[in-house]
Structure 1
Amino acid sequence: MRTKKILIPMYRDEVAPRFDLAGEALIVTVSEDGTPGERQSLVLPHASADDLCDLVLSREIDTVICGGIEEEYYHYLRWKRVDVLDAVAGTVRAALARFLAGRLKSGDMLFGDRDSHV
């Protein structure tokens, strides 16, 4: 097993409501034992689903945690063997905490989540 990379499109401190409109992204490296390591925040030059998909592939991202995503991009990322947890709403901190605990799933609404300590 190797380290994994997670990408979360962001709007301020929340998971961006739409994949194609995200202006920022957070990449988190997770060690084999599930401990979060390096974090890199990126400000994207412009909002673009195509560019975000290119970023996912060029950075060898394993999992994308996002809000709404068009079916075309969802299937493209899955075809490229990227796990996609979509329709997630809440803070980036809560989404990451739940993911690291192995309990995040598509459709999770995390506002007011008590597990948001990462």
Structure 2
Amino acid sequence: MAEPRKSKVLIPLHDDDVAPRFDLATEVWIGVLGEDGAWHDERTLVLPQASAENLCNIILHEAVGTLVCGGIEEEFYQYLRWKRVEVFDSVLGPRVKAATALAKGELKPGDILYELG
């Protein structure tokens, strides 16, 4: 399994979870995964409206290297990959668990991180 790049990470949010759909998120979490495996410069941005195009612009403007998201349309997935953004798609669960798994190099596209109980 590939080690994630030590870079800026963006996770679209719905409450405290990874947003189930990239194009419907109105809030994003951004953090920098340091060489030490810890998160730095964490912040949350509230967006004026849900828009896949706006999210792509934020990703490029912020020089994000890794995106962790739920469902994403193929067009936006391919565009971001073309722009050399690593995309972990179809991820469901709490943002904290997704970020922790990413930092450990254990996150995979399609991971469901909710506790079953």
- The TM-score bracket by the shorter chain reads over 0.9
Q: Distance in 2 between matches of 1:8 and 1:40?
A: 11
Q: Distance in 1 between matches of 2:16 and 2:108?
A: 19
Give the match for residue 7 of structure 1: 10
CA offsets 1:56-114 (integer angstroms, 9 cap, x no match): 0000000000000000000000000000000000000110011111000100000018x
1:39 and 2:42 are equivalent in the alignment: yes
1:31, CA displacement in angstroms?
Answer: 1.1
1:3, CA displacement in angstroms?
Answer: 4.8
Q: Distance in 2 between matches of 1:38 and 1:19?
A: 22
Give the match for residue 64 of structure 2: 61
Partner AA of 2:22 in structure 1 = F
> Any stretches of 5+ residues in structure 1 without a counterpart?
114-118
> Any stretches of 5+ residues in structure 2 without a counterpart?
none
Matched-pair identity in %: 50
TM-score normalised per structure 1: 0.92
SS of 2:114's partner is: coil
Q: How many residues align?
A: 112
SS of 1:41's partner is: strand
Query: Which runs of at least 4 in structure 1 moved beyond 6 Å after TM superposition?
Result: none
Give the match for residue 77 of structure 1: 80
TM-score normalised per structure 2: 0.92
